[in-house]
Amino acid sequence: MIPYVELKTQFKAIETEIRAAIDTVLESGWFILGEQVRAFEQEFAAYLGVEHAVGVASGTDAIHLALRAAGVGPGDEVITAPNTCVPTVCGIAASGATPTLADVDPGTLTLDPAKLDAAITPRTRAIVPVHLYGHPCDMDPILEVARQHNLIVVEDCAQAHGARYKGALCGTFGHAAAFSFYPTKNLGAYGDGGAVSTSDAQIAEQVRRLRNYGEEHRYHHTVEGFNSRLDEIQAAVLRVKLPHLDAWNAARVRLAGAYGEALAETSVATPHLAPWALPNHHLYVVRTRHRDALQAQLKELGIGTLIHYPVPIHLQGAYSHLGLQRGAFPVAEQACGEVLSLPMYPELQPDAIPIIARAIADFRP
C-alpha cells in the first residue's frame, strides 16, 4: 500500500517539539491573538522577505480579506484560472466581487498572460494568479498587464510555500498574497489556518482589522469585519514547522526528480517545468488521456492518487450563474480530464517511486 498522502511520519519526527509548543499555549491560558501568532507572523514575514504577514483562519479567508483590504468589492471583477481549487473562487466571491476566468498555459497550467487582455473589462479590478501545484505563474508579464490596467494582484500561494519564480519567493510579487496552512500543504497546521503576506502597511492593517470584527482598538470598530483569526495553537505548530520547510521542499524536489526519470519511458506526461521556475512540488501531477482507467488500476494495486481538479470552475453547478459553457477555456478543460496527482510528500520513501512507475508502465488502457 502506498497512500496518496500520510502525515503521521512527519508528526513522529517532530513530536517532542510539537507537544512542547502546544503545551506552552495550554499553560499560557491565552488562545486567540497572542504571543504565538505575533511571533509566527514575524517569522513567516522574515522567511518570505516581506514587511507583514497577518494570520487568518484559512487560505480562503486570506484571499477574501486581502482583496477586501485592497479595496475590491461589489461591482468589481476579479480574474483567476478556471482549473484552480474552488476556494480561490470562494474567496473572490466573499469579497463581493464577481469571479471571472482566463485560460491557462498548456505547459504550466497556470494563468496564461497572453489570455488576460481578452478577460479584462472596465469592471476588472484585480487578478488572482494561482501558483497551482506549487509551480509559479509567469509573474512578470502578469504584473505588466496589471500595471497597464491599474489592477490589484493577490497571489494565491495556498500551494506555493517556498516556491520560487526567477529566484524570488512566491508571495512577494503582488500587492498581497494568500497562504493556506491546511494540514496537507507544504507548510501545514494541525487544523485550519492561513495568512496574508504583503509589504503594503495599509493592506496589512486593514486585514488585521477585518479578521477581528473590524476592531481598531478594543471595542472600537471602524470597519465591518469578520471573525477570521489564526489561533495560538496552530501558530505554535507552524512555528515548529517553518524551520523545516526548506528541507521538506528539497525532499519533494528530489522525489520529483526521481519520478521524472522513472516515468520518462511511460505513456504519461510528467509535469512541465518552466525554465524560470523552482517549484515546491506541492503536488506531482502527470497527464494522460486514460486518466480514469489509470487511477482505477493504481487503486487496485494499492497506490493512492487524487485528481486536482476534475471539474473546472465554470462547469461547477455553483458557478453556472457565470454563464460560461464548455469550450470557453479549452486548455483548462482538457487538463481537468487528464491530470492525476501521484503520491508526493517529503516522507514518501524513495523506493516507492520505482514501484509506482512500474505500475504505470504496465498499465494498458
Ligand X SMILES: Cc1ncc(COP(=O)(O)O)c(C=O)c1O
The residue from 66, 79, 81, 85 that contacts ligand X (CB under 6 A) is 85
The residue from 36, 80, 83, 84 that contacts ligand X (CB under 6 A) is 84
Angle at alpha carbon of residue 78, lines to 59 and 121, rounded to 5° = 170
Per-residue x/- mask for ligand X, residues 148 to 177, rule CB under 6 A? --------x-xx------------------
Query: Which residue from 248, 193, 294, 231 is spatially nearest to 36, judged by alpha carbons?
Result: 231
The residue from 174, 194, 225, 312 that contacts ligand X (CB under 6 A) is 194
CA distance 79 to 100: 5
Buried b / exposed e over 326-362, threshold 16 CB at 10 Å, is eebbebbbebbebbbbbbbbbbbeeebbeebbebbee
Name the DSSP class of 58.
-
Residue nearest to ligand X (CB): 59
Q: Which three cell numbers stand for residue 95?
A: 469579497
Query: Closest CB to ligand X among 178 and 286?
Result: 178
Count of Cβ atoms closer than 10 Å to residue 223 Cβ: 13
Name the DSSP class of 130.
B
- Tell me the closest approach of the beta carbon of residue 84 to ligand X, in angstroms: 5
The residue from 80, 83, 88, 288 that contacts ligand X (CB under 6 A) is 88
- Tell me the closest approach of the beta carbon of residue 86 to ligand X, in angstroms: 8
Q: Does 356 bind ligand X (CB under 6 A)?
A: no
- Tell me the closest approach of the beta carbon of residue 159 to ligand X, in angstroms: 5
The residue from 36, 58, 83, 206 that contacts ligand X (CB under 6 A) is 58
**Residues at the site binding ligand X, with contacts judged by CB under 6 A:** 58-60, 84-85, 87-88, 130, 156, 158-159, 180, 182, 192, 194
